[in-house]
Amino acid sequence: MEYRCTKEFSIGLRDDNGFSIENKYKRVEEDSNWWIDESGYRFIGGQIRLESSDSSEWIEISEKLFDNCFKELC
């Protein structure tokens, strides 16, 4: 299923080992499209893993953030 970001937000960046990078953030832009990775794989422990429809980027976020910032595309 594909989802659209309805509210821009930023999340902290992680290094290749999953550790937070101090003062580095990724902006998730409003109107960007994402799909849920159903594989169950989680690298940094997020509840929901999203992969960008437009690039090879991925994010892991909480269910609360997902519910507040994404809507399903019809």
**DSSP string covering the chain, please?**
-EEEE-S-EEEEEE-TTSPEEEEEEEEE-TT-EEEE-TT---SS--SEEEEESSSS-EEEE-HHHHHHHEEE--
Q: Note the pLDDT of residue 55.
A: 83
- Which residues span the domain enclosing 45? 2-72
Residue 65 has pLDDT above 90, yes or no: yes
How many distinct structural domains can be found in the chain? Answer: 1
Residues with Cβ within 8 Å of 72's Cβ and at least 6 positions away in sequence, in order, are 1, 2, 3
Q: What pTM did the predictor assign? A: 0.86
Quick count: other Cβ atoms within 10 Å of Cβ 25? 11
Average pLDDT value over all residues in the chain = 94
